[in-house]
Amino acid sequence: MVKVSVVTISFNQAEFLERTIRSVLNQDYQNIEYIVVDPGSTDGSRELIESYGSRIARTIFEPDAGAADGLNKGFASTTGDILSFLNSDDVFLPGAVSAAVSFFAKNPAMDVVSGHARVIGPDDRVLRLVYSDRMSVTKYVYGGVALIQPSTFFRRAAYERTKGFNSENRATWDGELFLDMALAGCRFGRSHDIWSGYRLHSQSITVSGKLEDTMNRVNQGHFLRVMGREPNGIDKKLKVGFQIWKHLMNPRDTLERILRGPVFQRKAEKQQTETLKGQRGRR
């Protein structure tokens, strides 16, 4: 049976962490190697992690230089053939791992697969659905591609074709890894299944918008790396065009956006009482 390694990085996320852990350990797939990385939580997270004993294959309790560095440490200790990472506030839906393994078995030429997700609030209430796009390097650097990270799995060989997570990237380390895989020639597939719950809450980066300036700088760096030049006025128009094309090519996601509003930078204080419809944000 193919081994799947899942890495969770956690820092002071005790409120959500147990739901994350259980969503991995309660999968119906039997050969999962689960690794949890915690650089120094003080909210009871470490005690919670330790309470699961040997059901968690490895725990890494040591300081790190941020989320990307923690992920590198976690992935360095994996031994699985298929890899994934799940943030400590997100969850796998039942059957997600089995479905990902089945996808790779049926599609041996594919190196990476992304499914879709439920966007959930702090209380697990479903706010909307969100759908992965088809990967394209050009579309990615123009903002025309979004892969749902907790619903993405990849072969070890794909990860090893990269340098791992960029620890200098404090905003979009996951997207940069997927870009690195694409630039290395990896083939991306897309499942029609919903594999994860992607949580929004008051402390999440997605909600806060704290790193918007950093994200813009990182994205400009990606553009320069791929295109070999700085973006110009024409590129701004092309970006709009690619984003329109994205919405046309992913109609289910576009419909969710129209009916229930965008996901990113949503107002956290309204999560418990309002739907996403009509609220300001950016996806």
| Residue predicted with more confidence, 78 or 269 | 78
pLDDT above 50 for 164: yes
pLDDT above 50 for 102: yes
* Average pLDDT over the chain, rounded to an integer: 90
* Assigned domain for 28 exists: yes
pLDDT in tens, 179-196: 999 999 999 999 999 999
CATH number at residue 88: 3.90.550.10
Q: At what angle do helices 173-183 and 212-227 cross, to 10 degrees?
A: 10
* Assigned domain for 280 exists: no
Say what the pLDDT of residue 278 is. 34
pLDDT above 50 for 202: yes
Look at the chain and report how many structural domains it folds into.
1
CA-to-CA distance for 263 and 282, rounded, in angstroms? 6
Q: Tell me the pTM.
A: 0.89
Domain of 134 in residue numbering reads as: 4-270
In this prediction, residue 215 has a pLDDT band, given cuts at 50, 70 and 90, of confident
Say what the pLDDT of residue 171 is. 82
In this prediction, residue 217 has a pLDDT band, given cuts at 50, 70 and 90, of confident
pLDDT in tens, 11-36: 999 999 999 999 999 999 999 999 99
In this prediction, residue 264 has a pLDDT band, given cuts at 50, 70 and 90, of low
Mean pLDDT of 267-271: 39
pLDDT above 80 for 148: yes
* Assigned domain for 210 exists: yes
CA-to-CA distance for 33 and 80, rounded, in angstroms? 7
* Assigned domain for 275 exists: no
CA-to-CA distance for 104 and 153, rounded, in angstroms? 9
pLDDT above 80 for 204: no
Alpha helices in the chain (DSSP H): 14-25, 45-50, 67-76, 96-106, 137-141, 156-160, 173-183, 205-208, 212-227, 233-249, 251-260
* Assigned domain for 229 exists: yes
Say what the pLDDT of residue 91 is. 98
| Residue predicted with more confidence, 214 or 111 | 111
pLDDT above 60 for 6: yes
Say what the pLDDT of residue 97 is. 98
Query: Residue 122: in which H helix or E strand, if any?
Result: none
Look at residues 44, 45, 50, 111 and name the one whose alpha carbon lies nearest to residue 83. Answer: 111
Say what the pLDDT of residue 119 is. 96
| Residue predicted with more confidence, 271 or 171 | 171
* Assigned domain for 281 exists: no
Mean pLDDT of 127-140: 96
Token digits of residue 152: 């993405």
Say what the pLDDT of residue 38 is. 97
| Residue predicted with more confidence, 5 or 278 | 5
CA-to-CA distance for 88 and 41, rounded, in angstroms? 12
* Assigned domain for 41 exists: yes
* Assigned domain for 279 exists: no
Say what the pLDDT of residue 280 is. 28
